[in-house]
Amino acid sequence: MENILSMLIFFPAAAAVVGFLIHKDSMRQFGVVVTVVEFVLSLLLWYYFDSNVAGMQFVQSLPLISSYGINYTVGVDGVSLFLIVMITFMTMVALIGLTEKKDVKNLIITMLFLEMTMVGVFVSLDVIMFYIFWELTLIPMFYVIGFWGAEKRFYAAIKFFLYTFIGSLVMLVGMLYFGYVYHETTGVWSFSLMDWNSVVLPFDLQLWLFIAFFFGFAVKVPMFPFHTWLPLAHGQAPTIGSIMLAAVLLKMETYGFIRFSLPLFPDASVYFVGFMATLGLIAIIYTAMLAYAQEDMKQMIAYSSISHMGVITLGVFALNVEGISGAVYLMIGHGIVSGALFMSVGVLYDRRHTKMIKEFGGLAHNMPVFATVYAIVLMASIGLPLTIGFIGEFLSLLGFFKFSPILTFIGALTIILSAVYMLAMYKRTFFGKLVKPENKVLKDIFGRELVALGLLVVLIISLGIYPKLILDPLNTSVSQLTKVMEIKAVNEDTKEKLRALNSIGEVK
Report yes or no: 254 and 313 within 8 Å, Cβ to Cβ. Answer: yes
pLDDT score, position 507: 41
| Predicted local confidence at residue 377, as pLDDT | 94
Residue 238, Cβ density class (10 Å: 0-12 exposed, 13-18 middle, ≥19 buried): buried
Give me the sign of the Cα torsion angle 124, 12, 328, 425.
positive
Q: In whole angstroms, what is the distance from residue 28 CA to residue 429 CA?
A: 31
Q: What is the pLDDT of residue 55?
A: 85
Return mean pLDDT, the chain. Answer: 89
| Cβ 425 vs Cβ 356: under 8 Å | no
SS3 76: strand
For 49-152, where are the alpha helices, taking DSSP H only? Answer: 78-96, 104-123, 127-136, 138-148
Q: In degrees rounded to 5, what are phi and psi of residue 59?
A: -70, 135
Distance CA 306, CA 227 (A): 8
From the centroid of its chain, how far is CA 118? Answer: 10
Cα three-residue angle 137-125-114, rounded to 5 degrees: 20
- Chain length of the chain: 508
pLDDT at 212: 92
Strand partners, 74: 60, 124
Q: What is the pLDDT, as a whole number, of residue 220?
A: 72
User: Under a CB-based contact definition with an 8 Å cutoff, are residues 54 and 14 in contact?
Assistant: no
pLDDT of residue 219: 80
pLDDT score, position 505: 44
Listed as own residue / partner, the contacts of 21-26 with beta carbons closer than 8 Å and 24 or more positions apart are: 22/105, 24/104, 24/105
How far is the C-alpha of 257 from the C-alpha of 269, rounded, in Å?
9
CB atoms within 10 A of CB 288: 22
* Residue spans per domain, the chain: 272-465
Residues 443, 363: contact at Cβ < 8 Å? no
- What is the C-alpha to C-alpha distance for residues 182 and 196, in angstroms, rounded to an integer? 7
Which letter does DSSP use for residue 261 in this model?
I
Report the pLDDT value the prediction gives residue 371, as an integer from 0 to 100: 93
What's residue 506's pLDDT? Answer: 44
Spans of the chain below 50 pLDDT: 505-508
* Dist CA 398 CA 157 (whole Å): 37
- What one-character-per-residue DSSP string does 396-450 give? HHHHHHTT-HHHHHHHTHHHHHHHHHHHHHHHHHHSS---SHHHHTPPPP-HHHH
Q: How many CB atoms lie within 10 A of CB 492?
A: 8
Which pLDDT value is given to residue 452?
92
| Res 490: pLDDT | 83
